[in-house]
Amino acid sequence: MEVVLVLSLVLAVTPWSVHPARPVSGTRSPARRSRGRPARTAAVEGVLLLDLLDAAVASGASVPRALNAVGRAAGGEAGDALVAAGTALMLGASWQAAWAGAPEGALDVRDCLEDAWLTGSAPGPSLRVRAATVRRERRRRARTAGAALGVHLVLPLGLCFLPAFALLGLAPLVLGLGSGLLVGLLP
């Protein structure tokens, strides 16, 4: 019986391990779809965009060039919005026109850089402050969710573990004591 089980397991796994999956002819592999660049799997978070823009501006790039560079590196909707805004600003568009139709992920960047663009102040401090604020809010939400999770788990855990404890821990003890008592009472 064991031999049949082992052989069926080996036969089930062998076709995939011997012949690796190959793309169907006429299709391109995912890594080569975008002209040699690897495919991106996830969009970049807003806090990382703020940090990248801070590094780009600190290295001496202007705000539009920093937006273009970070947008190209980040990709996704937010990255495309950064590239569009940077290009529009280089071409002389107003701040509001450059950011028209920006997605949710680019709004922090827009709000942080607006004062720097309109007044000519350094954008680095506002980018760092906003990134720290977003991180602080994220930690606060995580702590609140963790505390709420503990409260929400009390009822299911009580309904599952209390009966199990009573059946597996207390019932054998009571039955053992009860049987000893009954044996002592019988003549």
Map residue 37 onto helix, strand or coil: strand
SS3 content of the chain, % helix, strand, coil (to 5): 75, 0, 20
* Domain residue limits, the chain: 39-121
Taking Cα atoms as reference points, which of 75, 13, 92 lies closest to residue 41?
75
- Give 46-89 pLDDT, tens digit per residue: 899 999 999 999 999 999 999 999 999 998 899 999 999 999 99
- Residue that the structure tokens 């999770």 belong to: 149
pLDDT digits (tens, 9 = 90+) for 118-157: 999 999 999 999 999 999 999 999 999 999 998 888 888 8
Instruction: Count CB atoms within 10 A of the CB of residue 42.
Output: 7
- Angle in degrees, CA 58, 68, 47, rounded to 5: 60
